[in-house]
């Protein structure tokens, strides 16, 4: 059973009856679901996931005002719910980073995930939040969605990066791919610095992955789920296999030759998508030139004139 399914069934059997019996007056203004950290909120959980932090539970979100008035009582009621359900036990101790289930104020939840209590309003504020944090904030499934404060923030975040921010990030990762993969990797191989060459490969792959997510306008998840998530993307999901190969194989003469070919192929596919989305006017296969062209498309003058690498 997937974590979201377990959570929803637990909520329907125990959570909703508890709310209807003792907190019916809060139902018009609260939200509940499984949201936040954990592979189950990304729908990526499997049998391996069940060895830690996997339990029947759910989240209840209250406005800051309601939390101040009723948060304590609602938390006590939540903690009294059954410890066992469908063969799984609720955790006796909170995992690292704090409890993932229970009762939260909107402010506390979003501050714990994205570092702020509201959605960013200023362009540069978007650049301060890691993509994986934004992915975490919009993950999971809502069972009840009546807390206006919670929903308003979630809906803004679900729209993805503002276009200027997306372009800045794409430009930054395109330039990083150029430096690490198209330029540094072959030079390091020529110098027989195979360890450093592999670091260059890692940088190329990380930025290529980020580019693919940005071209899909989907927040990139935490690194251990980056490949897994790519397989479900609409655009360029096919490069996942090639990028995996780059990080898995060595740097012998024959392997390095193949890696250079893969770097060129992946770069070409990403450049083709730049053109398809009309975000670069540049011709050719040099990613650094495409990065500059993409940066020129940014309408916000201050953001356009800032260092491209601010987008990393």
DSSP string, 67-134: HHHHHHHHHHHHHTS-SEETTEE--SSPPTTS-SSEEEEHHHHHHHHHSSSS---SHHHHTTS-HHHH
Model confidence at 229, pLDDT cuts 50, 70, 90, reads very high
Beta pairing partners, 102: 59
Give me the pLDDT at residue 90, please: 77
Task: Write down which residue in 126, 158, 190 finishes a domain.
Answer: 158
Query: Could you read off the pLDDT of 50-88 as tens digits, one per residue?
Result: 556 678 899 999 999 999 999 999 999 999 999 988 877
Residues 7 and 154 in one domain: yes
Q: Reply yes or no on whether the pLDDT at 92 is more than 90.
A: no
Instruction: State the chain's mean pLDDT as an integer.
Output: 95
Q: Which helix (H) or strand (E) holds 279?
A: none
Model confidence at 21, pLDDT cuts 50, 70, 90, reads very high
275 vs 237: CA distance, rounded Å:
17
Residues 102 and 247 in one domain: no
Q: Which domain holds residue 122?
A: 3-158
Task: Write down which residue in 100, 133, 158 finishes a domain.
Answer: 158
Tokens of 73: 């009582």
Residues 140 and 230 in one domain: no
Residues 181 and 147 in one domain: no
59 vs 10: CA distance, rounded Å:
11
Residues 195 and 281 in one domain: yes
Residues 193 and 223 in one domain: yes
Residues 199 and 128 in one domain: no
Residues 143 and 203 in one domain: no
**Percent of the chain clearing pLDDT 70 (strictly above):** 96
**Cα angle vertex 82, ends 76, 88, to 5°?**
125
Residues 111 and 14 in one domain: yes
Residues 181 and 235 in one domain: yes
Q: How many domains does the chain have?
A: 2
Residues 83 and 189 in one domain: no
Query: Could you read off the pLDDT of 148-194 as tens digits, one per residue?
Result: 999 999 999 999 999 999 999 999 999 999 999 999 999 999 999 99
Give pTM, 2 decimals.
0.94
166 vs 154: CA distance, rounded Å:
18
62 vs 71: CA distance, rounded Å:
8
Task: Write down which residue in 127, 158, 189 finishes a domain.
Answer: 158
Contacts of 10 (CB under 8 A, 6+ apart): 56, 57, 58, 81, 85, 86
């Amino acid at each position: 059973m997937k974590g979201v399914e377990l959570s929803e069934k637990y909520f329907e059997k125990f959570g909703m009856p508890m709310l209807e019996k003792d907190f019916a007056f809060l139902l018009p203004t609260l939200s509940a679901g499984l949201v936040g950290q954990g592979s189950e909120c990304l729908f990526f959980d499997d049998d391996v996931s069940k060895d830690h932090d996997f339990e029947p539970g759910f989240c209840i979100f209250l406005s800051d005002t309601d939390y101040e008035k009723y948060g304590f009582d609602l938390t006590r009621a939540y903690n009294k719910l059954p410890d066992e359900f469908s063969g799984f036990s609720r955790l006796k101790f909170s995992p690292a980073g704090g409890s993932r289930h229970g009762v939260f104020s909107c402010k506390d939840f979003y501050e714990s995930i994205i570092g702020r209590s509201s959605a960013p309003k200023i362009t540069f504020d978007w650049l301060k939040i890691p993509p994986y944090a934004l992915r975490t904030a919009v993950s999971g499934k809502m069972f009840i969605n009546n807390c206006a404060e919670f929903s308003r923030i979630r809906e803004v975040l679900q729209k993805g990066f503002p276009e200027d921010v997306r372009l800045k990030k794409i430009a930054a990762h395109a330039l990083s791919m150029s430096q690490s993969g198209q330029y540094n990797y072959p030079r390091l191989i020529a110098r027989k610095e195979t360890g450093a060459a592999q670091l260059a490969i890692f940088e190329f792959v990380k930025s290529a992955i980020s580019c693919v997510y940005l071209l899909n306008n989907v927040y990139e998840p935490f690194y251990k789920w980056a490949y897994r998530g790519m397989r479900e993307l609409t655009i360029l999901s096919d490069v996942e296999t090639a990028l995996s190969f780059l990080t898995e194989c060595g740097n012998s003469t024959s392997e390095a030759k193949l890696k250079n070919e893969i770097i060129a192929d992946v770069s070409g596919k990403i450049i083709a998508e730049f053109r398809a989305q009309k975000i670069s006017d540049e011709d050719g296969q040099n990613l650094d030139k495409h990065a500059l062209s993409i940066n020129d498309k940014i309408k916000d003058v201050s953001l356009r004139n800032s260092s491209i690498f601010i987008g990393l």
